[in-house]
Amino acid sequence: MKKRILYINTALNTGSTGHIVEQLAAQAVAAGDECLVVHGARYCAHSSVPEWQIAGKWNEYLHALLSLLNLHGLGSCIAALRLIRKIRTWKPDIIHIHNIHGYYVNFPLFMRFLRGCGVPVIWTLHDCWLLTGRCASFAVSGCGQWKTGCSVCPGLDDYPRSLVRYGVSRNYMLKKRLLTQIPNLTFVSVSQWLDGIVAQSFLSGCRHLAVVNGIDTAVFKPVSGSLRRQMGLEGKFVVVGVAGVWCAEKGLFDWKALAERLDSRFALVMVGNVPDDVLPPSVLTVGTAAPAQLAEIYSMADVVLSLSRQETFGMTLAEAMACGTPVMAYSNTAMTMMCSEKVGWLVNDRDLDAVAGKIESLYGSSEVGEKAAACRDYVLEHYNLKNNLMQYMKLYTDTITRK
């Protein structure tokens, strides 16, 4: 049965969520379905599927200013009305939402529309914004208010940043009331860990399940080359870290401290947008890399390391394993499920001495090669993109049938 599927996301074919939506829409089109990707204005790349931009960049800039007053999701009224009108004219059989936060649509207006529009909704959660009164992640602050009702936010600098503390309880209750009133709504988490968080939240009474992210193993695969020689890393034990934007939550300052603990036998390489004048000269930095270049970087590493404290999946570690490289991470959030003993190592959260000690113990050890041999097969079994896409295609059919 041919379906009309409307996707909604902040980004178009860029960043992790943008690429995920692009893969899903392309698979649906290949299966004979009709798709439309609706997106924000600031993060856009060329797409192979039909797309429609909700509003312009100024809409998002004004919404960002409101967010500083703890009004994230409460701006962009005109953009929300344009989105609602688009849905009414396009008439989808199913709406698949990803990140609706991102300064581009009014949350209450759109949720009230979904409550009465009669269209089944699938909502993929990539972070925890829907479950809280303000933040997208509560891991760094260790806050547990999301379980019972947010009141005083301890992490105003966390995304989306706010300058004021009031309004958190209002936002929490608004989300709880609106989200639990939408019929035929299914929440999909990108990891079992995140699905466990949903089960402890006010969404526990809604239909929810996990469909773990998939890795394109045709792109992320072992690559032989001369990158080590080109970067002057021959004879070194190479530790690589990857992030879109490096910040404290992604472990930026922990990497700095780690560099001060390791001697010249080791080389640290950080890929992504790294702030200037933070890291010592011994750390090599590489700007944002295309997927093929990333695969080459992963492949030349001895270990790919994540010192992030707020991951709902751990995409960079899965990509590294697909390239045959073992991984290491703090024992927090979804990383506890990502770093199996077969393919990597977990160290105590924020224990940099343990991280440095483990890396030093791996120098010249056969343990790295033993785990590397298992990495690619592990990804093919657990994080296979084809399986991920097929689960969603089946979910679309099942959801429409349940209507």
27 within 8 A of 48, measured Cβ to Cβ: no
13 and 159 belong to one structural domain: yes
329, 330, 358 from 354: Cα distances, Å: 11, 10, 6
Average pLDDT of 300-309? 97
Question: Which structural domain range is residue 348 located in?
Answer: 227-382
pLDDT tens-digit profile of 38-93?
Answer: 999 999 999 999 999 999 999 999 999 999 999 999 999 999 999 999 999 999 99
- The answer to whether residue 16 is domain-embedded is yes
Please confirm whether the linkage preceding 160 is cis (ω < 30° from 0). yes
196 and 277 belong to one structural domain: no
Who wins on pLDDT, 340 or 295? 295
178 and 244 belong to one structural domain: no
Average pLDDT of 278-290? 92
Q: Could you give the residue ranges of the DSSP H alpha helices within 12-76?
A: 15-30, 57-67
256 and 293 belong to one structural domain: yes
310 within 8 A of 281, measured Cβ to Cβ: no
pLDDT tens-digit profile of 306-358?
Answer: 999 989 999 999 999 999 999 999 999 999 988 989 999 999 999 999 999 99
268 within 8 A of 278, measured Cβ to Cβ: no
How far is it, in rounded angstroms, from Cα 397 to Cα 391? 10
191 and 234 belong to one structural domain: no
42 and 162 belong to one structural domain: yes
157 and 240 belong to one structural domain: no
pLDDT band at residue 276 using 50, 70 and 90 as cut-offs: confident
pTM confidence score: 0.95
Query: Which residues does 373 contact at the CB level (< 8 Å), separation at least 6?
Result: 324
Quick one: pLDDT at residue 27? 97
394 and 376 belong to one structural domain: no
Query: Which residues does 88 contact at the CB level (< 8 Å), separation at least 6?
Result: 117
Supply the CATH number for residue 33's domain: 3.40.50.2000
Q: Please count the CA atoms within 13 angstroms of the CA of 237 that sit on its side-chain side.
A: 21
pLDDT band at residue 403 using 50, 70 and 90 as cut-offs: low
272 and 196 belong to one structural domain: no
206 and 242 belong to one structural domain: no
